[in-house]
Amino acid sequence: QKEVEQDPGPLSVPEGAIVSLNCTYSNSAFQYFMWYRQYSRKGPELLMYTYSSGNKEDGRFTAQVDKSSKYISLFIRDSQPSDSATYLCAMTGRDDKIIFGKGTRLHILP
Q: How far is the CB of 78 from other proteins (least distance, A)?
A: 24
Answer for which of 16, 18, 29, 45 binds other proteins (CB under 8 A) is 45
Q: Which is nearer to other proteins, 7 or 17 (CB)?
A: 7
Binding mask 81-110 for other proteins (x = CB under 8 A): -------x-------xxx-xxxx-------
Size of the site for other proteins (CB under 8 A): 18
| Shortest distance (Å) from residue 39 CB to other proteins | 10
C-alpha span between 9 and 56 (Å, rounded): 24
- Helix (H), strand (E), coil (C) string for the chain: CCCEECCCCCEEEECCCCEEEEEEECCCCCCEEEEEEECCCCCCEEEEEEECCEEEEECCEEEEEECCCCEEEEEECCCCHHHCEEEEEEEECCCCCCEECCCEEEEEEC
- How near is the Cβ of 38 to other proteins at its closest, in Å? 9
Q: Which positions touch other proteins (CB under 8 A)?
A: 4, 8, 36, 41-46, 49, 88, 96-98, 100-103
